[in-house]
Structure formats: C-alpha cells, structure tokens
Amino acid sequence: AQTVTQSQPEMSVQEAETVTLSCTYDTSESDYYLFWYKQPPSRQMILVIRQEAYKQQNATENRFSVNFQKAAKSFSLKISDSQLGDAAMYFCAYRRKGDKLIFGTGTRLQVFP
Amino acid sequence: NAGVTQTPKFQVLKTGQSMTLQCAQDMNHEYMSWYRQDPGMGLRLIHYSVGAGITDQGEVPNGYNVSRSTTEDFPLRLLSAAPSQTSVYFCASTLLGIQYFGAGTRLSVL
C-alpha cells in the first residue's frame, strides 16, 4: 500500500528566510503525481505545487519549489523569502494515476517576524 | 464560479442522530470524494465517486453512506452519529489529477 510520511510535525522560519519541508513516500508505481497542499487557519485546502513523476525537472511556483528525488522517493518543499502569510499546515500528498489521493500527516509551519 | 460548495459549515449532533453533509460542484467534474481530517492524522478518504451512479469506499467508510445521482451533487450521510465521527469533513472534486476542495464542515457529536 502506498504511504506518505512527513517526519516534521512542526517547523519554524524567520520572515524572508528559506525553509524546507520534508516528505517521503512509498510506492511500487512508476507513474504518479505528488502534491503539496497548504491549509491556513481558514481551513481551506490550497494547492501549492504539483509534480508529475515522469518529469525529471523539479516543479516551481514563484517562491515555492520542490526537490523531487524519484529513486529516493523523496519530495521536499522549499519556501524562499518566507512571508507571514505562509504560516499554515502543509500536507504532502501522493496520487497514482486514476486513483485516490493519499495524504501525509502534515507539517505546521510558523513564520516569525 | 463557486467551485466546490459544502453545507453546513458547522454542525453539532447528539449521539444517534442522523444528518447529511451536502456537497455541490459547478465545474462538471466526474470525480468527487469525501475526506475527514482528524488531528495528527492528515486527511483520510471516506468515499469517492468516479461519476453519476458510481460510488466506492475509501479508507474509512464505516458509519457513512454516499450516493451520486447527478454529476453536481455528492452528499455524505451519517446514519447514526457517534462521538468518533467528530471531525472536519472535506468534499473535493478532481480534474486532470488536481483536487479542488470545499471549505469544510466542522462536525461535533456529543
């Protein structure tokens, strides 16, 4: 069965600094998708970034980028120039093509001024 | 464009009561799903549907029923609420592998 592990329950970063959130997953598939979702206090789940496993290039969305290591089954999220609005729960998720989304347990990110 | 709409936003039930959580999407997505979110456990899949008339169980289906009579609507029914069903519930619809979430329903069962 596929699993997603986020080993950092909490992380903190100072405003304008860079922080990396870790995620590992277990699968025997070769074709799948990986996601990072942000959940602010409003509770809304917001898609931050998406990576397709067949693409070797790491996905980037403005200040958010990933380090996708397929062989190591690792999918970390880097947030550059952190802002107060980045404070939230961050969930890593895995989806096999045509199948269900599986979430990790989340990392709570605090941003200090 | 409303996206995925969940009602109600908050609900308090007594043990044994039944209720339906509503979910509607206006994006004509075939794939819809229900999750529950509990502290320290992330989101877990309850039920999902790949289209009108087709539903299937997820990871934690016990105590919940679903139906999908139209593409737009995917209600979640609690037949006899239990305190263990106290949680935040999210509905989502999916297109091209991307899930679009509703704002969630916070349910407390006393």
The 10s digit of each residue's pLDDT in A13-72 is 999 999 999 999 999 988 899 999 999 998 999 999 999 999 889 999 999 999 999 999
Give per-residue pLDDT as tens, B39-78.
Answer: 877 899 999 999 999 999 998 999 999 999 999 999 999 9
E strand intervals along A6-73: 10-14, 19-21, 24-26, 32-39, 46-52, 60-61, 64-69
Mode of pairing for the β-strands spanning A10-14 and A107-112: parallel
CB contact under 8 A, B42 and A100: no
Which residues on chain A are in Cβ contact (under 8 Å) with B104?
43-45
Q: What is the DSSP letter of A55?
A: -
Q: Does A36 touch chain B (CB under 8 A)?
A: no
pLDDT at B38 over 90: yes
The stretch B33-38 carries a mean pLDDT of 95
Cβ–Cβ gap A100/B45 under 8 Å: yes
In the predicted structure, residue B1 carries a pLDDT above the cut 70: no
Does the beta-carbon distance from A91 to B58 stay under 8 Å? no
Chain B's closest residue to A90, CA to CA, is: B42
Residues of chain B contacting residue A103, judged by C-beta atoms under 8 Å apart? 35, 42-44
Residues in Cβ contact with A44 at an 8 Å cutoff, skipping those fewer than 6 apart: B101, B103, B104
> Which one-letter amino acid corresponds to residue A103?
F
Rounded average pLDDT over A83-90? 97
CA distance B53 to chain A (A): 18
Beta strands of B26-84 (E only): which ranges? 31-37, 43-51, 54-57, 64-66, 76-78
The 8-class DSSP code of residue B12 comes to E
Q: Do A43 and B104 touch (CB under 8 A)?
A: yes
Q: Do B33 and A44 touch (CB under 8 A)?
A: no
Q: Residue A8: pLDDT above 60? A: yes
pLDDT at A113: 95
